[in-house]
Amino acid sequence: MLKLILIIIAVIIAIVSIILQNPEKGIPVAIVIFLGGISQGVLSEYAADFLETVFSGSEPTVVEEHLPPESAPQQEAAVTSGQSNTETSAAPEQDSGGGSDYTANTSTAPAPTPAPESAPTPEPAPAPEPADPLSGLTNISSQTSVSGSVIERDQVNQYRYTAPTDGTYQFDSGLDYGKVSLQIDNAYGGKLASGSSSMSAELEAGKTYILRVKYSSTPMDYTIQIGVPNPVTDITGQTSVSGSLTYLTQSDRYTYTASISGVHQFNAVGMNFNALRLAVLNPQGQKLNSGSPSVSVTLEAGKTYTLCVETTSHFLDYTIHVNVPNPPVDVTASAQAAGTLTYSSQIDQYYYTAPADGSYRFDTGLGYGGVSMKVQDENGTSCGVSANSLTVTLKAGTQYILNVYKEYANLPVEYTVSIIPQ
């Protein structure tokens, strides 16, 4: 019934608007009412409300609650986007005829959605500490040997070893070449030495190293003998020193401070030639001289030197005599020099100042095979050299040095040198 009434009213409005020559308003109203009459639901109710608004001037009823569920998000979006225009559009806009043709939007704008709080930045996890390369390794520091097996390819047995003293160490399996591979590394990186079945390495006292025994070519049992050098010993003031060489790369070291300047000799008593090697190093570690089985070297009083003792071919015990030169003696008053030569490189020195210019004879009274003599001036220049008897020209008031030594003869030998003006 409502639909029919709406249709009739729409036709009447259209006719009246034409008669009154105001179709621009009448016709749209008639169309809206007509569509509301032939449609259903919300549109027809909207048309009825619109008609009531036209004739009574009251505000239309909001039908927002009758929207279908699927249109709700669109309405919410429209409300949000038009939020800034809600207040200005609330007042009706008057046209020239005094009528009202707006639909008031009485919806309340939704409150602004607060920005989400950012989550606190988590603190970075602490970096893991690097693994200790010595962790879990068998400590063999107090041992002189270690045994084990390498039975499969790429197998490596590792041991930790702290050196008790400075020096050259040997790690020897006693196996044939190529049976096992050996390597020693610094504790925290860096290969120090390697070898097949045996190796040597210079280690520092108190430092820890890693010994690695590797599979080489076939499964193998092994026992590694550890050759440890003797501690460095000071032999200053001693006349001899004894020791033992127990592995081929062993080097026993002794410090020695010269008490007097001159030629010193270190002689391995009872040793055959080339049985062992001796070397003397200066305070800077540079080699001054070497020999086998003895070594002679000129040292300066008050300086400290190093004597190195090494084997050449096999293990042995040794005793080394330390031969020290006699101090120089001034024989100007007595004009006579006497002494005993006890080692091959010994040189006894005597100072003599000539009382007058002239020739002087230095005579030992010995026959063939006695001693040799050399006279030098204060600048070290030779004035003459001979065996047993020597005549030279000297200047008054000048100090000369008489050197007495032994060559190509058995020792010891006693001598007396008389200085006779000619």
- Listed in sequence order, the residues at least 6 apart from 326 whose beta carbon sits closer than 8 Å to its beta carbon are 339, 346, 348, 349
Task: Determine the pLDDT at residue 77.
Answer: 39
Tokens representing residue 121 in the block: 């930045």
Starting at the edge strand found earlier in the chain, the sheet holding 336-341 runs 336-341, 413-421, 358-363, 389-394
User: Which residues sit opposite 330 in a β-bridge?
Assistant: 351
Identical topology for domains 138-227 and 233-323? yes
The class of domain 329-421 in CATH terms is: mainly beta
Task: Tell me the C-alpha distance between 258 and 167, whole Å.
Answer: 23
Query: What single DSSP character describes residue 100?
Result: B
Task: Determine the pLDDT at residue 66.
Answer: 43
Task: Determine the pLDDT at residue 124.
Answer: 76
Task: Tell me the C-alpha distance between 90 and 98, whole Å.
Answer: 17
Tokens representing residue 379 in the block: 């600048």
Task: Determine the pLDDT at residue 314.
Answer: 80
Query: What single DSSP character describes residue 12?
Result: H
Residue 166's CB is within 10 A of a number of other CB atoms, namely 16
Cα separations in angstroms, 95 against 14, 47, 92, 194? 20, 21, 10, 107
- Domain residues of the chain, as ranges? 2-63, 138-227, 233-323, 329-421
| Strands 399-405 vs 372-376: parallel, antiparallel or unpaired | antiparallel
Task: Determine the pLDDT at residue 143.
Answer: 95
Q: What is the pLDDT of residues 162-196, one digit of tens each?
A: 999 999 999 999 999 999 999 999 988 889 999 99
Range 138-227 has CATH code 2.60.120.380: yes
Residue 225's CB is within 10 A of a number of other CB atoms, namely 15
pTM: 0.62
CB contact at 8 A, 278 and 271: no
Nearest C-alpha neighbor of 268 from the set 259, 255, 260, 277: 277
Task: Determine the pLDDT at residue 72.
Answer: 41
Task: Determine the pLDDT at residue 121.
Answer: 76
Task: Determine the pLDDT at residue 38.
Answer: 63
> What does each of the 422 residues of the chain score in pLDDT, given as a tens digit?
666 776 777 778 777 767 766 666 667 766 766 666 665 544 455 555 554 554 454 444 444 444 444 444 444 433 344 444 434 443 344 444 444 444 444 445 566 666 666 667 777 777 666 667 788 899 999 999 999 999 999 999 999 999 999 999 999 999 999 999 999 999 888 899 999 999 999 999 999 999 999 999 999 999 999 999 999 999 999 999 999 999 988 999 999 999 999 999 999 988 888 889 999 999 999 999 999 999 999 999 999 999 999 988 888 899 999 999 999 999 999 999 999 999 989 999 999 999 999 999 999 988 777 899 999 998 999 999 999 999 999 999 999 999 999 877 688 999 999 999 99
Q: What is the pLDDT of residues 32-63, one digit of tens each?
A: 666 666 655 444 555 555 545 544 544 444 44
Task: Determine the pLDDT at residue 275.
Answer: 84
Task: Determine the pLDDT at residue 62.
Answer: 44
| Strands 156-162 vs 138-139: parallel, antiparallel or unpaired | parallel
The class of domain 233-323 in CATH terms is: mainly beta
Buried b / exposed e across 391-400, counting CB within 10 Å, b at 16+?
Answer: ebebeeeeeb
Residue 333's CB is within 10 A of a number of other CB atoms, namely 8
